[in-house]
Amino acid sequence: MSKKTLIIGAGGVGNVVAFKCAMNSETFGEITLASRTLKKCDSIAKNIKDKVGVKIDTTTIDADSTPKLIELFKSLKPNIVINVALPYQDLTIMDACIVCGIDYLDTANYEHPDTAKFEYKEQWAKDEAFKKENIMALLGSGFDPGVTNVFCAYAQKHYFDEIHTIDILDCNAGDHGYPFATNFNPEINLREVSAKGRYWENGSWIETEPMEIMQVWDYPEIGEKDSYLLYHEEMESLIKHIKGLKRIRFFMTFGESYLTHMKCLENVGMLGIKDVEHKGQKIVPMEFLATLLPDPASLGSRTKGKTNIGIYAKGIKDGKEKTVYIYQVSDHEKCYEEVLSQGVSYTTGVPAMIGAKLMLEGKWQKKGVYNMEEFDPDPFMEELMVQGLPWKIEEKSNSQE
Ligand code: NDP
């Protein structure tokens, strides 16, 4: 019987997911794209019809409302819901999936709108309910989290007896020509990078000031870049699932212009997430800033350059020390040519489609709530090669550290 797929969220990532599902329509069957603003869904559907020749349906949804989601799910009866709206909607959508008995996938863990804190606690707490309803949730199926978790699982399976340290490296060397813009949702992006840094060593979390630790890493096909230590959500699950791990850190590159703008905006209070009174109205500074900044979905046609995201893993195999670097390089312009989106949306949307494909094909199926590294990495790594995100692996005798 033909499958039905529901995608929620018609932003930069939603565009890529919808394109890629349409390009794999023998697996995804009838596809519906639902979001807050219908005209964004319609415009994506038109582009897909024109470029891929596949018709997808569209509808509006307020994904903050579980009752409205339940109503939609009951009328559409999808086999899977791919959540690429915002992290604020993770719990409402998961709850509706539990009520309707539908598999769930997302790319970012739950964030409470009033606290700049993201963690898996609330989503993991739904494991029992997912098991009881005989359904599955796959959390964090983007690039980071997502592919980075799969890279770690792949290194663990094929290259190590024990992994001792992991450094996750995220370099976006793309240039959109604006003095300041974010490559994905501005609010989520700025909350992430302005928060305190954190890494995990010998069983405990070590907190740093925002951007306190900088290290230069050499990214193949890009070159050396200043990279800053941030907290990133995949570390929370990887410390549970990677054997023998002693330390895990996450680094992201930022250009000087980005950092200077961010510091100024922070200094004047524009990154605040609490209400302020303005001319008798309550506004949240960060939300107002997001309104002013370019829509990430509009950066596609003007972004040039490459992304390189990967993991450095060091550990022991057959009693000997070794280092393995697994990475993926994407070209912003090539991504735009294929699906009308820049590389950051592309590298997130393709893994979301692949995770959903493996679930629908029964290759990744377990009842309950799971992170990516809890599954066999091989089928995912094979799909990356053929779905637009080919990866490379280097074995090194000594690391850059
Ligand atoms: P955008 O802001 O471009 O898109 C989000 C979309 O969700 C918009 O179309 C928005 O609608 C819709 N939306 C927001 N709130 C609601 C709601 N209450 N009901 C229905 N629809 C809603 O974000 P991105 O596409 O850049 O990012 C999407 C997700 O991907 C985010 O969760 C982000 O954190 C995640 N991400 C994950 C990455 C990874 O590697 N794992 C990397 C990058 C992003 P409207 O247009 O009407 O506002």
3-state secondary structure string across 146-199? EHHHHHHHHHHHHCCCEEEEEEEEEEECCECCCCCCCCCCHHHHHHHHHCCEEE
Q: Which residue lies with its CA nearest to atom 31 of ligand 1?
A: 86
Rounded distance, CA 104 to CA 81, Å? 5
Closest CA to 342 of 372, 370, 304: 304
CA 297 to ligand 1: nearest atom: 3
CB 197 within 8 A of CB 209: yes
Q: Which residue lies with its CA nearest to atom 13 of ligand 1?
A: 85
* The two structure tokens encoding residue 111: 């964030």
Residue of 6, 13, 389 with the most ligand 1 atoms within 8 Å of its CB, for mutation:
13
Residue 310 has pLDDT above 80, yes or no: yes
The residues near 397 (Cβ < 8 Å, ≥ 6 apart) are 322, 323
pLDDT at 1: 67
* The two structure tokens encoding residue 92: 């409402």
CA 14 to ligand 1: nearest atom: 25
Q: What percent of the chain has pLDDT over 90?
A: 85
CB-defined site of ligand 1, < 6 Å? 9-14, 35-37, 40, 61-64, 84-87, 89, 107-108, 142-146, 184-185, 188, 296-297, 344-345, 348
Q: How would you class 279 by CB atoms within 10 Å of its CB: exposed for 0-12, middle for 13-18, buried for 19 or more? A: exposed
pLDDT at 398: 54
Tokens 């690429």, residue located? 84
Q: Which residue lies with its CA nearest to atom 29 of ligand 1?
A: 84
CB 103 within 8 A of CB 137: yes
Cα of 13 to ligand 1 centre, how many Å? 7
Residue 348 has pLDDT above 80, yes or no: yes
Average pLDDT over residues 259-263: 89
Cα of 188 to ligand 1 centre, how many Å? 9
Cα of 204 to ligand 1 centre, how many Å? 32
Cα of 10 to ligand 1 centre, how many Å? 7
* The two structure tokens encoding residue 275: 């209400």
Cα of 8 to ligand 1 centre, how many Å? 9
- Say if strands 4-8 and 247-253 run parallel, antiparallel, or are unpaired: unpaired
Rounded distance, CA 71 to CA 88, Å? 20
Average pLDDT over residues 125-149: 98
pLDDT at 318: 94
pLDDT at 396: 80
SS3 content of the chain, % helix, strand, coil (to 5): 40, 30, 30
The helix/strand/coil state of 60 is strand
Cα of 377 to ligand 1 centre, how many Å? 26
Residue of 66, 88, 95, 107 with the most ligand 1 atoms within 8 Å of its CB, for mutation:
107
Question: pLDDT tens-digit profile of 353-365?
Answer: 999 999 999 999 9
CA 186 to ligand 1: nearest atom: 2
Question: pLDDT tens-digit profile of 36-71?
Answer: 999 999 999 999 999 999 999 999 999 999 999 999
- Say if strands 306-317 and 247-253 run parallel, antiparallel, or are unpaired: unpaired
Tokens 């009951």, residue located? 74
pTM for this model (two decimals): 0.95
Rounded distance, CA 384 to CA 354, Å? 8
Closest CA to 169 of 109, 240, 234, 259: 234
pLDDT at 125: 98
